[in-house]
Amino acid sequence: MPRLIVFNNVTVDGYFAGINSDMRWAHRDTQDAEYHAFVAGNASGGGQLLFGRVTYEMMASYWPTPMALKNDPEVAQGINRLSKVVFSRTLNSATWSNTRLVKSDMLAEVRKMKKEPGKDMAILGSGSLVAQLGQAGLIDEFQVMVNPIVLGKGRSMFDGLENRLNLKLAQTRAFKNGNVLLSYEPAA
């Protein structure tokens, strides 16, 4: 059965998006080959990507473009090839390759997807999904990439969470660019 993993970049002060959903801080050029290999490996690892509408629209407007293929060919090829699911009540269609639109009950659909055979699923961004699926106990691992930057204002990936989530640290990994990966699992 596939696991559901969240992977999000966050700032030292805990924001995963800045004012007006600015994410440029998470994609600064740091010349760290190990980090770039890690990101490329994540993008080509297989499985399925899950998005909310806002993150889907942002990703779909960049990754299939010639600019993305030029700037980051490994990640672009991997992410474009992967199967994707976008959860939205307002989208009428999902045109990015290999994307399925789900307009019905997200929690029921994810529960069903977790029972089917297949590779792990990943959420990139999509704070509203993280909060809702985390609250429902459907997320198996939270991979939080802490970036060495402070924004002062922004949005937490847990906005809308109604009850606290108790987590336990499963793994850490530091990169030369100053980023630190913290992997958490739900505490029993």
Residue 32 pLDDT: 85
Asked if residue 168 belongs to a domain, the reply is: no
Domain range holding 85? 4-137+147-155
Q: Which residue has the tokens 């030369």?
A: 176
Q: Is the pLDDT of residue 9 over 80?
A: yes
Q: Which CATH number belongs to the domain containing residue 151 in this structure?
A: 3.40.430.10
pTM: 0.91
Q: Are 16 and 156 in contact (CB under 8 A)?
A: yes
pLDDT digits (tens, 9 = 90+) for 10-26: 999 999 988 888 888 88
* pLDDT of 174 strictly over 90: yes
Confidence category of residue 152, pLDDT binned at 50, 70, 90: very high
CB 157 within 8 A of CB 8: yes
Question: How much is the pLDDT for 29?
Answer: 63
Q: What is the pLDDT of residues 59-115, one digit of tens each?
A: 999 999 999 999 888 888 889 999 999 999 999 999 999 999 999 899 999 999 999
Secondary structure string (H, E, C) spanning 121-132: EEEECCHHHHHH
Q: Which ranges of 125-188 would DSSP assign to H, the alpha helix?
A: 127-135
- Is 96 part of a structural domain of the chain? yes
> Is 175 inside a domain boundary?
no
Model confidence at 185, pLDDT cuts 50, 70, 90, reads very high
Domain count across the chain: 1
